[in-house]
Amino acid sequence: MSGQKFRLAVCSSGAVALGAFEAGVLSQLYADTFELRGGAFDVNIDVVAGASAGAVTGVILTQAIAATEPPTSLTARMQALWVQGLSLTKLLGSTANQSNSLFDPASIDSLASHTILDDATMRKNGGSSAPVKVTLSIAITNLDGIPIRLPNAYRLQSAYYSLFADYETLAIRGGVPHSLGPVEQLSKGPISQRPSSWNAVKELAIASSAFPFAFQSRALVRDLQNYPDSVNPRLSQKQTFNYSDGGLLDNNPIGRAIDAAAYQERLEKLEAVERYFVVVEPDPVTEESAQNSYEQGAHSPNGLPPLELAGKVTDTYFTNALSRDLLKALRVNEQLRQLNKLVEGGTMSKALEKEVRVAMGLDFKRLVNLERIVPLHHDMPLEGAFGAHFGGFLDKAYRAYDFAAGCSAARVWVNDWLAHVGSSQFALSSELQAQPVARAPQLKQQFAGIDVAALSKEKSLLSNRAVALIRNHLQAHGLLGFVADIVLRWVHGLVGKYLNRTMR
């Protein structure tokens, strides 16, 4: 077993408050692999892909890897954000703010700035004599769409469409993020690397985390040179677009991780390593939930009620990307196996195989070994899972529990994976093995919702903010008046009733 090298690509998805579980998983995964890094059994996390809540968590993990941060320090940063920081009261901030979102953007900016390290700190921490090199990919959703031209799509005609599923891939070298060009360049020559900043990465992560209506959409400047088929603008190649939650179209970015791994392996000339893609799923589909899906909901001749319809549309967006990426990964695996079989059987030469791989977009792709980390109690939701995954924001103890649940799930996966790759002699030390990095708090009522009486302040703040949001919109359009006041009072009562029902 001596001399074996393994590389992990971690995919951290959108999960709203269940990001606390993901933060626990990544903290424990980092702590356990930290001990194995660079040894006889060499295990490194060198690729991170994040969307939505997983984007901010992914950036924090990436910084830790690049700076060889002590595991206790990373855990403290993760807990500062996901356990202590992301409470409903802090998210609401000033309920009188003028943003077009439920939560105060100033609060989000402050929390991110306190947990994502700045450029000076990262240059100091990541500029060591033997800096760790890692590639990060962040999924973002362009709400305006980037105009794309497909030449000769039809006979003698071009076709135009808009690109909404966007992303940014960055190579971290010496603690400095470098923006990489489009993935298509992997087969076309040298990879362009343009120095960026951690402030720009922070803005990308915040935009990726901007769940619609709850969080404010973000304006980002994009360089259209990174979109080879984009319509050439009349003025500058740099254009500003509105961005929102990366999880809308790419919630569990396995595809982004596969492309980022291709970048990493080409840049670092990684050949004699075995790679595993680790997907973190806080709320996986189980056998029981799959069966229940056949029985859920009444089928009214008048169609679904608006709120139920909105919920189902949201679920469709968030779950479709995972199944799409999984199917794509399985197809890539099958294509590579077939090519390998042809080469090994002498039917195809190595030179022809290389040409075929380039033509099929498989250049620098390899077999995708997929792994997943899910809660240990598969049929029991995490504490913060209720209220469309927003429930965890209502109580610190719930986030602490989910964080610790993530640590435990990661520890179980690490032990199972080490056994799978046959590395029992390189198991974790007894000191690390004894206890995950965080303990779960003792809860009076596990998985039983939240005591409404204890949260009257939060309920009132949330109702007031919902009303302020609608009032701001009406005022901007000159629609405030007697009728509007009646509507706002009705909305306040409606929100209160909904919270009573949800928080029971």
Block mean pLDDT (10 aa), the chain, length 504: 79 88 95 81 91 93 93 94 90 75 87 92 70 88 90 71 91 91 70 90 94 88 88 86 86 84 85 86 79 66 67 64 75 88 90 86 80 84 82 87 92 89 58 60 49 60 73 67 63 61 52
CB within 8 Å of 425: residues ≥ 6 apart: 1, 41
Please answer whether residues 132 and 42 qualify as being in contact, where contact means their C-beta atoms are separated by less than 8 angstroms.
no
Q: Which runs of consecutive H residues, i.e. helices, occur in 116-197?
A: 119-126
Q: Specify the pLDDT at position 212.
A: 84
Q: Specify the pLDDT at position 493.
A: 65
Q: Which runs of consecutive H residues, i.e. helices, occur in 345-391?
A: 350-359
Query: What is the distance between the alpha carbons of residues 171 and 245, in angstroms, rounded to a whole number?
Result: 22
Q: Specify the pLDDT at position 428.
A: 56
Q: Rounded to 5 degrees, what are φ and ψ at 452?
A: -65, -40
pTM equals 0.86
Q: Specify the pLDDT at position 468.
A: 74
Q: Rounded to 5 degrees, what are φ and ψ at 63?
A: -60, -40
Q: Specify the pLDDT at position 1.
A: 43
Q: Specify the pLDDT at position 64.
A: 94
User: Burial letters for 155-190: b for 16+ Cβ neighbours within 10 Å, e otherwise?
Assistant: eeeeeeeeebbbbbbbbbbebbbbbbbbbeebeeee
Chain-centroid distance, C-alpha 73? 21
Token pair 């998985």 in the structure block, residue: 447
User: CB-based burial of residue 115 (10 Å sphere; 0-12 exposed, 13-18 middle, 19+ buried)?
Assistant: buried
Enter the tokens of residue 158: 């071009």
Pairing label, strands 134-154, 238-244: antiparallel
Amino acid at 187: S
Whole-angstrom CA distances from 110 to 58, 113, 399, 477 are 18, 5, 19, 30
Please answer whether residues 28 and 403 qualify as being in contact, where contact means their C-beta atoms are separated by less than 8 angstroms.
no
Query: What is the distance between the alpha carbons of residues 50 and 209, in angstroms, rounded to a whole number?
Result: 10
Q: Specify the pLDDT at position 457.
A: 67
Please answer whether residues 80 and 22 qualify as being in contact, where contact means their C-beta atoms are separated by less than 8 angstroms.
no
Token pair 């598969």 in the structure block, residue: 378
Enter the tokens of residue 198: 């951690």
Helix then strand then coil, in percent of the chain rounded to 5, is 50, 20, 30
Strands (E), 196-335: 218-223, 238-244, 274-280
Q: What is the CA radius of gyration of the chain?
A: 24
Q: Give helix then strand counts, H and E, for the chain.
A: 16, 10
Enter the tokens of residue 199: 């402030």
Enter the tokens of residue 91: 């998210």
